[in-house]
Amino acid sequence: MKVISGSLILAITSTLVVIAIAADPASGKQKTKMAPALAAYRTDIQQTSVSGVSSGGAMAVQMHVAHSSIMRGVGVIAGVTYDCANSRLPSSSQRLAQGLMCLDGSVDYAPDSIARTAVAAGVPGAIDDPAANLPHQKVWLFSGYNDGSVRRGAMNAVDKYYQNYVKAGNVFYQTDNHAPHALITNDYGGPCLDVNVKYINNCDYDAAGQLLQHIYGGLNPPSGSGLSGSIQAFDQREFVAGGNPKSIGLADTGYIYVPNACSSTTPCRVHVVFHGCKQYAGKVGDAVYKHGGYSRPPHLRPIQRDVLTGGVSAILFPRAISREKPGTKSRRLRRCSIASPKDSSQVRVLPISSKHLNCSRWRTVHRTPWH
């Protein structure tokens, strides 16, 4: 194995993470005391994997495809297909409009994304060749049937996109969970169907554990009762030209979960986690990197995240900030009332986060959430 600085992984991610920048209120004040530089670890770069939720799911697809030669697999929660917003459109407003259409799910964008991937792969140095690199990789997909933000059709397109490259049996697509638009856990977050400003909901499903297990194989049971690793803050400035992370939408500080067994002499692999657009630095605190399911201590989880078959994995959490101007008001969540199919007198009120949806249309495309 090659001795590779762990910072190399972030150098790759920091140039791409700008597509997952929030469109939400200002992130609040950043700490003036800077975190230490990211330490170097002996990483096996060919065992890298990525995952993300919402815009982070879209980011995970982008990075997975663009750097497919170093990837082991990908986990996508409520994301969209590769280059779905069409980077060739001449203006940002056109790309934004296209991106919103991608979320709607009423159009199958898989064929367009496959075509754009082929074009990009044909440009020397643009992206790695997914046709050559993806067939034996693992793909884990999740779409909650109460997700009114990234609709089922959008994730169906992601499934169709990967089925074009990955061999049969290597794609797992979870669709029978009643989750809304959120990062899903089995022990942290708000009630499953409630509005949660951190977008982490307890739906009795361990999404992080399931996707890691699918990508890397069986996870070993926990041994001992203490922490098996530590979460460390690091300075993201060194990965940005000019040393100003905010210029490209990055926070000053990122985080990494480092297993005790991972050192400068013990080989490690890296899993990169991209948060959603409203989970940016300064708004959700430590919710994603500490409570999202990726870096829990052994006594709080049924399977151990850091000791995986064949090696240990560090979990890297790049952090973005909001780029919206201070004082901009956040769009309020709309709500739809849904009657129980068994008893029409029972009504459940659910959040609908997209202003482009109406309740009657939402009811026709979603199963009634009484499970």
So which residues are the catalytic ones? 54, 147, 181
3-state secondary structure the chain: CCCCCCHHHHHHHHHHHHHHCECCCCCCCCCCCCCCCCCCCCECHHHEEEEEECHHHHHHHHHHHHCHHHEEEEEEECCCCCCCCCCCCCCHHHHHHHHHHHHHCCCCCHHHHHHHHHHHHCCCCCCCCHHHHCCCCEEEEECCCCCCCCCHHHHHHHHHHHHCCCCCCCEEEECCCCCCCCEEECCCCEECCCCCCCCEEECCCCHHHHHHHHHHCCECCCCCCCCCEEEEEEECHHHCHHHCHHHHCECCEEEEEEECCCCCCCCEEEEEEECCCCCCCCCCCCHHHHHCCCCCCHHHCCCCCCEECCEEEEEEECCECECCCCCCCCCCCEEEEEECCCCCCCEEEEEECCCCCCHHHHHHHCCCCCC
- What single-letter amino acid sits at 121? A
Token pair for 316: 């890297």
| Residue 353, CA distances (Å) to 45, 255, 337, 339 in order | 38, 28, 14, 19
Residue (of 9, 70, 12) closest to 42 by Cα position: 9
φ, ψ dihedrals at 213, nearest 5°: -65, -40
Structure-token pair, residue 45:
């770069």
